[in-house]
Amino acid sequence: MTGGRRTTGNQRRYKRDTLRRVAFIRVAQRVGIPLRMVADALDSLPEGRTPTRQDWAERSASWRAELTVRIDQMTRLRDDLSDCIGCGCLSLDRCKLRNLDDNLGDEGAGPRRLLVDELRDDG
């Protein structure tokens, strides 16, 4: 962070726009927005003034699709694990996460059943 100044008591003081940017970053991190998207949003903000509600609304609108993908992914994970939670071995006869003969390995690395099509295309 830049723009801070030190007081005679050696405390750091930051301008309001800097503090708002930090708050913006923390909220984005909390909901899982990738740092590259946060950086892009911050790069487009005006320097030297506190961002307005409209500034934030415009930047966060682009995150809706990303959040929807993440919500869908988490919902699928929750639903697919409903029979396995507490088991730990994933050896149930009808486990939705089972990967017979490692067929999903042909699609690439990572949790293939948990990745939605949009994320697979980006990877």
2-27 confidence digits (pLDDT tens): 667 887 888 888 888 888 888 888 98
Neighbouring residues of 81: CB distance < 8 A, sequence distance ≥ 6: 97
Give ranges for CATH 1.10.1660.10 in the chain: 1-62
Among the CATH numbers 1.10.1660.10, 3.40.50.300, 2.60.40.420, 1.20.1250.20, which is that of 1-62?
1.10.1660.10
Lowest-pLDDT choice from 50-64, 72-86, 87-101: 87-101
Work out the average pLDDT over 72-80: 82
DSSP structure class, residue 101 = G
Is this prediction's pTM over 0.75? Answer: no
pLDDT at residue 17 in the model: 81
